[in-house]
């Protein structure tokens, strides 16, 4: 039970900002994912929380108390490392019990706590094994047990699943979240895998070039990406160049869309319009919309991935329901929902007719140029 | 068919391999074998392929030679002291080279080779003149210092590689679990690097134990270690005497090298880390 707060964290290497003014709060028992391409500063941020990197400026608070000046051994945080970092010269019991022995707990207490932790991660009776005798998944569990046994207030996970093969990764990630929920521990999870982040996180913080772009729930992040980077990084997004015309309409490639109410846009402004593949209406030829050609249909089981071509426009990716009967050739296409970006920032959302337009999200975090 | 047609026939290919291995084995072992035979030979004259009679005469001669016991004494006192002193000086240096980044790090690391870059004998002579001034000639410590020159490289480079092989994450995990920097070194870094330290120590011991030239220049005639005595034996006594002595000199080396090999193969160095 703990709240983690980062205030204006900055870390510079030479002239390069590894982490640039990151502020963020993680609530009680929340699992927050830091997501971003490699080199975006997510691991640096995590290592600053753990105490392995000293921030140039800014503060780190746990339940309101600053820990930024404490060395790692005195922080109430525990880290699960990317390569597990189990000590090869100790068996599983000593790996897990090391921290407890340092706290001068009685032998019986240590033994009980280690047993409990190993039971929790599903490795009962593995005490005497050496790390080299364990599979990657088992090493991962031991690393998790080693972190949890210390009852830290904040659990830090540095791409803990990236060294596992695909199938095991999915199983371990389910198990990991189950354990996290059962133990009830505030956690920060770093990953570059958006599917992983979307499937386990309560909230996701997307980073790029040291800047935190947006912190939001997976649903919100997908539906209302605050910046163009987030929009293209998460999921598939059709991106069109657009412009706000004088009549209050937006031209986006071949489409003409109504400008959303309350959008902070100036007439004649250059825009980038993002449309999710499932936000198109695709009908037979001669309908209301832009005339196009269906050039490719991939059946993906529960839905179809359709490539639609319009002259002078990049091919669009469209998802359609399996129920819809769709032939190749001429068709009509019209966006139902669109996101408008001005200067890379979300400036407005066109919601489908009949849906109340929500205001521009307030969850977007002070990214550069906001 | 190409000239190497025989490589296409599995049996011939295998036979060729066996022949090459045997040839190499003979090349390496025949001199040693000759030495062993000499050690037990009594009379062995041309053109006989083997000695005409055997005896243990030279063994008892060597063991009853007063110089011999003295040499064993000096060897077994200088070499361990050299190893210990070398460890005290070199191991902290090895750790620094591996973990700290200080100006001139590479320069100093490479400069350890300096002693090996020049002809040893010339180096020893100039050192001897220095030692003469310092009253170290013909003393125990003079011999210790001259022998240490040969140990610096192995005692620094091998342990440094050992420290290098300890991933930083293992140390960070230790800090994360609540151990301070000193305890992390003691409980995590040192045990994992230990095989390399032991190997470095063994090789340093052997370098000191087998050193003859410098010891001769600085120590003779008072401090005569086994390898120095060996020179005298080779020049002044029949072959069996030096053969017996060679075997005695080789035994510690052989045993220690076998131990070193065990550490190198069985260590965490070989066990490796998953995902590395």
User: What whole-number distance in Å separates Cα of residue B55 and Cα of residue B241?
Assistant: 12
pLDDT score of A354: 64
Which chain A residues are closer than 8 Å to B273 by Cβ?
A: 83, 88
pLDDT in tens, A304-331: 899 999 988 889 999 988 777 778 888 8
User: What whole-number distance in Å separates Cα of residue B261 and Cα of residue B276?
Assistant: 23
Q: What is the mean pLDDT of residues A255-272?
A: 81
Which chain A residues are closer than 8 Å to B188 by Cβ?
A: 87
pLDDT in tens, B103-115: 888 888 888 888 7
Give A146: exposed, middle or buried? Use CB within 10 Å, 0-12, 13-18, 19+.
Answer: buried
Q: What is the mean pLDDT of residues A241-268?
A: 82
Residue A113, Ramachandran bin (φ over 0: left; ψ between -120 and 50: alpha; else beta): alpha
Residue A66: count of CB within 10 angstroms of its CB: 12
**Cβ within 8 Å of residue B256, ≥6 positions away:** B202, B205, B206
Mutate to test the interface with A, among B192, B274, B275 (most CBs of A within 10 A): B274
pLDDT in tens, A27-45: 999 999 999 999 899 999 9
Using CA coordinates, name the residue in chain A closest to B272: A132
Is the dihedral angle over the CA atoms B71, B76, B81, B84 positive or is it negative?
Answer: positive
pLDDT score of A208: 94
Query: Token pair 């310092």 is at which residue?
Result: B134
Which chain A residues are closer than 8 Å to B162 by Cβ?
A: none
Q: Is A53 on the interface with B (CB under 8 A)?
A: no
User: What whole-number distance in Å separates Cα of residue A26 and Cα of residue A49?
Assistant: 12
B67 membership: H or E segment, kind and range: helix B66-99
ipTM: 0.82
User: What whole-number distance in Å separates Cα of residue A151 and Cα of residue A123?
Assistant: 18
> When comparing pLDDT for A361 and A204, which is higher?
A204
pTM to 2 decimal places: 0.80
* CA count, 13 A, side-chain hemisphere, B40: 6
Q: At what angle do helices A107-120 and A92-102 cross, to 10 degrees?
A: 130
Q: Which residues of chain B have pLDDT under 50?
A: 269-276
User: What whole-number distance in Å separates Cα of residue B3 and Cα of residue B276?
Assistant: 44
- The answer for A 156-185 residues in CB contact with B (under 8 A) is 163
Helix (H, G, I), strand (E, B) or coil at A230: helix
Q: Is A36 within 8 Å of A206 (Cβ atoms)?
A: yes
pLDDT score of A355: 62
Mean per-residue pLDDT over chain B, rounded: 86
Using CA coordinates, name the residue in chain B closest to A145: B177
Rounded (5°) CA angle A239-A283-A288: 80
pLDDT score of B250: 86
Residue A253 has pLDDT above 50, yes or no: yes
Q: Is B167 on the interface with A (CB under 8 A)?
A: yes
Q: What is the mean pLDDT of residues A69-89?
A: 93
CB contact under 8 A, B173 and A72: no
pLDDT in tens, A124-137: 999 999 998 999 88
Which chain A residues are closer than 8 Å to B172 by Cβ?
A: 50, 52, 72, 79, 81, 85
**Confidence band, pLDDT 50/70/90 cuts, at residue A364:** very low
Q: Is B263 on the interface with A (CB under 8 A)?
A: no
Instruction: Report the gap between the CA of B68 and the closest CA in chain A (Å).
Output: 44
pLDDT in tens, A292-304: 999 999 888 888 8
Q: Is A310 within 8 Å of A287 (Cβ atoms)?
A: no
Q: Which of B97, B82, B96 is nearest to B146 (CA)?
A: B82
Mutate to test the interface with A, among B165, B172, B174, B178 (most CBs of A within 10 A): B178
Q: Is A136 on the interface with B (CB under 8 A)?
A: yes
Furthest-apart CA atoms within chain B: distance in Å: 75
CA dihedral (A87, A90, A94, A95) in degrees, to 10, reads: 20
Which chain B residues are closer than 8 Å to A146 by Cβ?
A: 173, 177
pLDDT score of A90: 92
Whether the bond into B183 is cis, omega within 30 of 0: no
pLDDT in tens, B3-23: 677 777 888 888 888 999 999
pLDDT score of A358: 52
* Strand arrangement of the beta sheet that strand A316-321 belongs to: A280-283, A329-335, A290-299, A303-309, A316-321
Q: Is B273 on the interface with A (CB under 8 A)?
A: yes
Helix (H, G, I), strand (E, B) or coil at B274: coil
Instruction: Report the gap between the CA of B271 and the closest CA in chain A (Å).
Output: 7
Mean per-residue pLDDT over chain A, rounded: 89
User: What whole-number distance in Å separates Cα of residue B93 and Cα of residue B154?
Assistant: 12
Mutate to test the interface with B, among A50, A67, A73, A146 (most CBs of B within 10 A): A73
Residue A47 has pLDDT above 80, yes or no: yes
Q: Which of A52, A136, A138 is nearest to A92 (CA)?
A: A138
- The answer for A 224-283 residues in CB contact with B (under 8 A) is none
């Amino acid at each position: 039970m703990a709240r983690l707060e980062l205030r204006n964290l900055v870390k510079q290497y030479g002239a390069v900002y590894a982490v640039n003014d990151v502020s963020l709060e993680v609530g009680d028992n929340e699992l927050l994912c830091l997501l971003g391409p490699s080199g975006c500063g997510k691991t640096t941020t995590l290592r600053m929380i753990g105490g392995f990197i000293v921030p140039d400026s800014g503060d780190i608070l746990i339940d309101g108390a600053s820990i930024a000046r404490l060395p790692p051994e005195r922080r109430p945080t525990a880290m699960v490392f990317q390569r597990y970092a189990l000590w090869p010269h100790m068996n599983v019991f000593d790996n897990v019990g090391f921290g407890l022995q340092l706290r001068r707990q009685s032998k019986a207490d240590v033994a009980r706590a280690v047993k409990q932790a190993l039971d929790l991660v599903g490795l009962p009776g593995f005490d005497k094994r050496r790390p080299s005798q364990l599979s990657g998944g088992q090493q991962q569990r031991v690393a998790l047990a080693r972190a949890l046994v210390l009852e830290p207030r904040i659990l830090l996970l540095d791409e803990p699943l990236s060294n596992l093969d695909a199938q095991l990764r999915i199983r371990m990630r389910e198990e990991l979240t189950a354990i996290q929920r059962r133990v009830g521990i505030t956690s920060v999870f770093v990953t570059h895998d958006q599917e992983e982040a979307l499937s386990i996180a309560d909230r996701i913080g997307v980073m790029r070039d040291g800047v935190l772009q947006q912190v939001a729930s997976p649903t919100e992040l997908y539906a209302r990406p605050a910046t163009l980077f987030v929009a293209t990084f998460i999921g598939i997004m059709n991106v069109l160049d657009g412009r706000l015309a004088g009549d209050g309409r937006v031209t986006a490639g071949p489409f003409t869309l109504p400008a959303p109410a309350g959008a902070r846009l100036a007439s004649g402004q250059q825009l980038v319009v993002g449309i999710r593949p499932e936000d198109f209406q695709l009908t037979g030829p001669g309908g209301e919309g832009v005339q196009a050609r269906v050039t490719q249909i991939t059946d993906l089981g529960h839905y179809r991935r359709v490539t639609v071509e319009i002259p002078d426009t990049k091919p669009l990716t469209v998802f359609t329901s399996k129920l819809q009967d769709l032939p190749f050739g001429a068709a009509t296409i019209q966006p139902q929902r669109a996101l408008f970006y001005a200067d890379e920032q979300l400036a407005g959302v066109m919601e489908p007719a009949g849906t109340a337009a929500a205001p521009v999200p307030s969850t977007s975090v002070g990214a550069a140029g906001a | 068919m190409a000239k190497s047609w025989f490589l296409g026939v599995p049996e011939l290919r295998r036979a060729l391999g066996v022949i090459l291995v045997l040839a190499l084995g003979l090349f390496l072992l025949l001199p040693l074998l000759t030495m062993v035979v000499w050690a037990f030979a009594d009379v062995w004259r041309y053109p006989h392929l083997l000695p005409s009679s055997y005896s243990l005469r030279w063994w008892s001669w060597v063991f009853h030679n007063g110089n011999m016991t003295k040499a064993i004494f000096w060897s077994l006192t200088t070499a361990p002291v050299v190893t210990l002193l070398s460890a005290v000086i070199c191991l902290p240096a090895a750790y620094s080279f591996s973990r700290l980044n200080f100006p001139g790090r590479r320069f100093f690391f490479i400069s350890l080779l300096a002693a090996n870059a020049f002809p040893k004998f010339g180096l020893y002579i100039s050192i001897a003149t220095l030692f003469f001034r310092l009253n170290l000639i013909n003393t125990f410590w003079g011999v210790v210092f001259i022998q240490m020159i040969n140990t610096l490289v192995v005692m620094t480079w091998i342990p440094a590689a050992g420290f290098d092989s300890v991933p930083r994450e293992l140390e960070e995990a230790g800090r994360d679990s609540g151990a301070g920097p000193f305890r992390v070194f003691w409980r995590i870094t040192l045990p994992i690097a230990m095989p390399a330290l032991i190997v470095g120590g063994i090789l340093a011991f052997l370098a000191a134990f087998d050193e003859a030239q410098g010891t001769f220049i600085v120590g003779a005639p008072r401090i005569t270690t086994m390898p120095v005595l060996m020179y005298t034996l080779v020049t002044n006594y029949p072959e069996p005497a030096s053969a017996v002595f060679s075997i005695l000199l080789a035994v510690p080396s052989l045993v220690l090298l076998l131990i070193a090999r065990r550490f190198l193969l069985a260590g965490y160095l070989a066990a490796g880390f998953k995902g590395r």
